[in-house]
Amino acid sequence: MAAKIFKELPGGLKMPAIGLGTWQVTNEAELENALNAALEIGYRHIDTAFVYQNEHIIGRVLQEWFSSGKLKREDLFITTKLPMQGVHQDRVELFIKKSLENLQLDYVDLYLIHFPVGIKHDDGQNRPPPEKIQTEPSDHVAIWKKMEEQVDAGRTKTIGVSNFNIRQVDTVIKSARIKPACLQIELHVYLQQRELVNFCQQNGLVVVAYAPLGSPGYNKFTAQFGNEPKNLPDMLNDKTIKKIATKHKKTNAQVMLRYLLQRNIVAIPKSVTPARLKENIDVFDFSLDGVDMKALDDLEVGEEARVCDFKFFPTLLQHPEFPFSK
């Protein structure tokens, strides 16, 4: 089965190379159907976050699978993330406990710092609206110590970071007793992040690609803050990718995901559509050759193709730890 292709994390934990993204799915029935379909198809890796406000739905569906005996906890790889309001040494434990309670789990497989910037915390619930967000200093060394304590306490098997740049990953590596197992970043054919990927792979971190299909649903998210729709990169209709897809009797999405796998990168495409869920994990029965890989390498656009730039929270940009170019 497709989900049996793994990347090994430090400590021997195995992460299935295709996972299920769940950002923006908060409708109970929609997520329940998608999760049930995904688990039937063979997905064993689920990516969520405290801020996605869907951990409780995932928890409920997983409990059904466990209690029916169709799955055991150890069959699954579950990732969740410390929200920006938890990016402070005094609040890591508080937030991982909230996530575990929502997920109805004793532990997650991977706990990530979602974003390198911390914001002021009020009631510990959801993030305030963008205009009310106030940042605060973020001491990554002190926060990482608290992340390590979550491994010691058995609340997570491994820990990692997301949206960190090279300098920030390096700071964590240098101070770490337990090295970061993973960096999760936006990564697709138009934004290949080669320097950052090389740095992580040389230092033993598994790179996980978010928005691997270019996040075509992104504008729905920013519309809630009244933002103008962004001109999104359209890789699902890219002609070069289409040519390669036709050659292999695959779709553009499958070529884009396969490209990442062949660069030793895990991908977490999100879909709530059963046919697409099948399509996105059906990427282990073909190989891109050197000519295909070169043609895909050449599609790199760079920073301009970044979709998820977090600029929808304008105050973050002023913070010294804002990780992307402004």
Q: Which residues bind ligand NAP (CB under 6 A)?
A: 21-23, 47, 114, 162-163, 184, 210-217, 236, 253, 268-273, 276, 279-280, 308
What is the nearest approach in angstroms of ligand NAP to the Cβ of residue 115? 6
Among residues 52, 111, 210, 218, the one annotated as catalytic is: 52
What is the nearest approach in angstroms of ligand NAP to the Cβ of residue 211? 4
Task: Concatenate the DSSP letters of all residues of 169-198 into one string.
Answer: HHHHHHH-SS---EEEEE-BTTB--HHHHH
Cβ proximity to ligand NAP, 70 vs 246, nearer residue = 246
What is the nearest approach in angstroms of ligand NAP to the Cβ of residue 114? 6
Closest by CA to 107, choosing from 56, 149, 158, 180, is 158
Cβ proximity to ligand NAP, 10 vs 217, nearer residue = 217
What is the nearest approach in angstroms of ligand NAP to the Cβ of residue 139? 21
Contact 232, 216 (CB under 8 A): yes
Cβ proximity to ligand NAP, 186 vs 292, nearer residue = 186
Helix 274-281, helix 28-41: angle, nearest 10:
40
What is the nearest approach in angstroms of ligand NAP to the Cβ of residue 251? 6
Contact 296, 192 (CB under 8 A): no
3-state secondary structure of 230: coil
Closest by CA to 282, choosing from 272, 294, 292, 269, is 269
Closest by CA to 38, choosing from 79, 8, 76, is 76
Is 52 an active-site residue? yes
Cβ proximity to ligand NAP, 100 vs 245, nearer residue = 245
Instruction: Give the CB-side neighbour count of residue 23, counting CA atoms within 13 A.
Output: 18
Structure tokens given for 12: 């021997």
Closest residue to ligand NAP, judged by C-beta, is 21
Instruction: Give the CB-side neighbour count of residue 94, counting CA atoms within 13 A.
Output: 15
Contact 277, 268 (CB under 8 A): no
Cβ proximity to ligand NAP, 100 vs 182, nearer residue = 182
Catalytic residues: 52
